[in-house]
Amino acid sequence: MKQLTFRRGVRLRVNAALVVALALAATFAGASPAFAATTVPLGTLDGYNVLAATTVTNTGATIVNDGDVGLSPGSAVVGFPPGIINNGVKHVADAQALQAKHDWTTAYGAANGQQPPTQTGIIDLAGLTLPAGIYDGDAISNSGTLTLSGDSSSVFIFRAASTLTIENGSTIAFSGGATQCNVFWTVASSATIGTTAVFAGTLLARGSISAATGATIGGRLLASTGAVTLQGNTINRDVADCGARPAIVPSSPVVRATRPPAGSGLALTGVDPLPAGIPALMALTVGAAFVIYTARRKRSAGRVSSK
């Protein structure tokens, strides 16, 4: 009887342990793993501090350090001077600016494609200390001090479904080794950076970007379809943390394709495959040769049948 009691006790303890283990396994299996934001590929955008589509307009003593100013397809970059570009050039309606616009689309898609977000429903960032992650909201603003906490590899992505407003005198600060290099903002509409505000990160706005008097930007202002307006701002690349800017590339013209005439056999590409006029001439020559060849075949066939 004692032996039977012992076996029952062992069986009960073993069964209890199995129940606990199965419950823990089910709990962990059902838990969603934390998603770590990854850095956004910039391509040639890495060399730009300012990029716009329609115009880049500056008033006052704006200084752009260690980055280019680009515009495509517009042609009006106004206010340089008095604005100064240190260790950078202007790329206006050239092949480099056009490539940067393509890279803008890739970067925007890469940032918006990361799922799931760490937090949704973000409105005002003032007073928050945030770890690395992805933060979504509709109209996002910062009216005070936002602190981003992490190490040098920490990635922060903020995604505004409408507008971004950085209020006058607001600040973005860092702790624990986090830097501007891995901070990205995507804005479905337009963005405004207020007077004397301190902003950080790469700002990708579908519409326009406006920086008010005295605002300091540690990063990039990159607009896809609108303008970038500057007013006595300082725009810096953090060379110490983000590395030296890419080598400056001289401006080169955009080579635009022309649609070859129907029947020429030439495909439409980004570069004209032949000098202007050659495709049309070739089409006429080939067509004429075909007509002559067909006529001769018919004459030959007629002679054979008459014999």
298 in a structural domain? yes
Q: What is the pTM of this model?
A: 0.75
Query: CA 38, CA 48: separation in Å to the nearest integer?
Result: 21
19 in a structural domain? yes
26 in a structural domain? yes
Please tell me whether residues 173 and 231 are part of one structural domain. yes
| CA angle 265–270–274, rounded 5-degree value | 50
Please tell me whether residues 151 and 283 are part of one structural domain. no
Grouping H, G, I as helix, E, B as strand and the rest as coil, residue 5 is helix
Grouping H, G, I as helix, E, B as strand and the rest as coil, residue 210 is strand
250 in a structural domain? no
Structure confidence at residue 304 (pLDDT) = 47
DSSP annotation of 215: -
Contact 68, 89 (CB under 8 A): yes
Please tell me whether residues 153 and 275 are part of one structural domain. no
pLDDT in tens, the chain (307 residues): 444 444 455 444 535 444 334 443 433 333 344 568 999 999 999 999 999 999 999 999 999 999 999 999 999 999 999 999 999 999 999 999 999 999 999 999 999 999 999 999 999 999 999 999 999 999 999 999 999 999 999 999 999 999 999 999 999 999 999 999 999 999 999 999 999 999 999 999 999 999 999 999 999 999 999 999 999 999 999 999 999 999 999 999 998 766 677 766 656 555 444 344 434 444 444 455 555 656 666 666 555 455 4
247 in a structural domain? no
Please tell me whether residues 222 and 132 are part of one structural domain. yes
Q: Locate tokens 């039977």: which residue?
A: 4
Give me 244's structure tokens: 């030296």
Total domain count, the chain: 3
Q: CA–CA distance from 78 to each of 87, 171, 224 (Å)?
A: 19, 28, 18
Exposed / middle / buried, residue 187 (Cβ in 10 Å: 0-12, 13-18, 19+): buried
Query: CA 54, CA 213: separation in Å to the nearest integer?
Result: 21
Half-sphere exposure of 140 (CA within 13 A, CB side): 24
Provide the domain limits for residue 283. Answer: 257-307
Please tell me whether residues 228 and 297 are part of one structural domain. no
251 in a structural domain? no
Please tell me whether residues 201 and 287 are part of one structural domain. no
